């Protein structure tokens, strides 16, 4: 329960600011292009963290990293909203960059703890914890929307919400399971996990995670565009595509642990990747709105278990220092996500959105093919 609460807290904190991004854009007087460059700060900050989240978790432990990291994220978002109050885009960018760095630290710490709990229980649990993140994000978004409706200044809102979330994470971290010994790793574990042998394990796992995160990116940034531009749905109603995808993903996360326990993670992963491929292709080329929504739903269910399975397998790679596998997968997702949506936009402009989504589907296709090969194990 403590780990589930940690995941929910991590989702709730930044989502509360995201709900007020329209207000941020208006207050700073930015064009859509400049605003798009500004808000990429969180992702860029996480990418710049590189391997440090794993180092921090090994040095200080995951409980400390999650607790202090959440306070760091909260303080950074207060810096960002101070920039809104002062009409300073540069201060907002600084706050978002710092928040992204802290979020990368918390992400590795909470997933490492989730895997520790999962190991202790002897059954799959990490998917349910990611469902907890989704619930927290929805709660944070609702709090941000309510604060905006009530006219609460954005700086006041984020300062209070940061205190609430930091306190919740601190309370959760106190109940974390102790670190497995040795925390800092042995000389053998820190010197032997290099070279092509390790890369052959981690690269396919990174593609599995990217297959899942690409579905989220398509849903967040392109589902409404697809429905309005390709299916002639009214723009005001096109947001239903994202709602359908995220709802399906949430259901998939709730049921994912049972499926993995029943089928095993390999067969569950193969089914999930196949669902992502069929879902994205169906959404891209379906002739009607209902079939497009069905494709988005299938992709959403399929992507639900991909990232948790990639984290679990990467964490178990022999010879790596503790938390290094999780750190590498997390960093890869953050790095690729920075360029994924612009790449879809460029392909859409030069060809079409269905073709762009088809190209994105190749990530899941390659991940699926690699998982079918015995060497991927």
Closest by CA to 244, choosing from 211, 185, 194, 292, is 292
Helix axes 265-285, 353-372, angle to 10 degrees: 160
Same CATH topology for 2-174 and 196-376: the answer is: yes
CB atoms closer than 10 angstroms to residue 21:
13
Could you give the CA distance from residue 212 to residue 222 in angstroms, rounded to a whole number?
15
* pTM of full prediction above 0.75: yes
- CATH number, span 2-174: 1.20.1250.20
Per-residue tens of pLDDT for the chain, all 377 residues: 999 999 999 999 988 888 888 788 888 887 766 777 787 888 899 999 888 999 999 999 999 999 999 999 999 999 999 999 999 999 999 999 999 999 999 999 999 999 999 989 999 899 899 888 888 888 888 888 888 889 999 999 999 999 999 999 999 999 999 876 654 444 444 444 456 778 788 899 999 999 999 998 888 778 888 998 899 988 767 878 888 888 899 999 999 999 999 999 899 999 999 999 999 999 999 999 999 999 999 999 999 999 999 999 998 888 888 888 898 898 998 888 888 888 888 898 888 999 999 999 999 999 999 998 764 44
Residue 295 DSSP SS3: helix
Residue with the two structure tokens 């409980």: 63
Residue with the two structure tokens 């106190």: 174
Residue with the two structure tokens 């010879």: 319
Q: Are 330 and 130 in contact (CB under 8 A)?
A: no
Domain range annotation of the chain: 2-174, 196-376
The tokens for 33 are 């292009």
Closest by CA to 303, choosing from 239, 368, 258, is 368
Q: What is the largest distance, in Å, between two alpha-carbon atoms of the chain?
A: 60
Residue with the two structure tokens 């699926």: 368
Could you give the CA distance from residue 175 to residue 178 in angstroms, rounded to a whole number?
9
CB atoms closer than 10 angstroms to residue 182:
10
In CATH terms, 196-376 corresponds, of 2.60.120.10, 1.20.1250.20, 1.10.540.10, 3.30.2290.10, to 1.20.1250.20
């Amino acid at each position: 329960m403590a780990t589930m609460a940690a995941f929910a807290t991590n989702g709730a904190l930044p989502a509360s600011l995201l709900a007020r991004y329209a207000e941020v854009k208006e207050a700073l007087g930015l064009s859509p292009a400049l605003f798009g460059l500004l808000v990429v700060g969180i992702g860029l900050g996480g990418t710049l963290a590189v391997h440090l989240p794993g180092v921090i978790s090994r040095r200080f432990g995951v409980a400390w990293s999650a607790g202090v990291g959440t306070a760091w994220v909260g303080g950074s978002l207060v810096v960002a909203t101070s920039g809104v109050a002062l009409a300073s885009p540069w201060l907002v960018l600084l706050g978002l960059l710092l928040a992204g760095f802290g979020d990368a630290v918390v992400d590795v710490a909470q997933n490492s703890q989730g895997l520790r709990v999962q190991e202790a229980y002897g059954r799959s649990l990490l998917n349910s914890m990611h469902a907890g993140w989704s619930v927290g994000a929805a709660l944070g978004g609702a709090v941000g929307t309510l604060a905006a409706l009530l006219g609460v200044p954005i700086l006041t809102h984020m300062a209070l919400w940061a205190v609430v979330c930091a306190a919740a994470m601190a309370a959760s971290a106190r109940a974390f399971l102790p670190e497995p010994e040795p925390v800092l790793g042995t000389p053998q574990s820190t010197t032997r996990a290099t070279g092509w042998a390790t890369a052959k394990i981690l690269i396919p796992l990174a593609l599995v995670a990217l297959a899942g995160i690409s579905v989220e990116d398509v849903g967040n940034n392109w589902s409404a565009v697809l429905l309005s531009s390709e299916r002639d749905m009214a723009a005001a109603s096109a947001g239903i595509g994202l709602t359908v995808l995220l709802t399906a993903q949430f259901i998939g996360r709730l049921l994912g642990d049972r499926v993995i326990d029943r089928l095993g993670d390999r067969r569950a992963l193969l089914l999930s990747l196949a669902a992502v491929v069929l879902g994205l292709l169906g959404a891209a080329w379906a002739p009607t709105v209902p079939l497009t929504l069905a494709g988005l739903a299938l992709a959403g269910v399929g992507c639900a278990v991909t990232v948790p399975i990639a984290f679990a397998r990467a964490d178990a790679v022999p010879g790596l220092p503790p938390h290094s596998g999780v750190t590498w997968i997390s960093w890869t997702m953050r790095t690729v996500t920075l360029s994924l949506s612009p790449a879809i936009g460029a392909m859409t402009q030069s060809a079409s959105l269905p073709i762009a989504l088809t190209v994105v589907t190749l990530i899941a296709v390659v991940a699926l093919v690699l998982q079918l090969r015995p060497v991927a194990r």
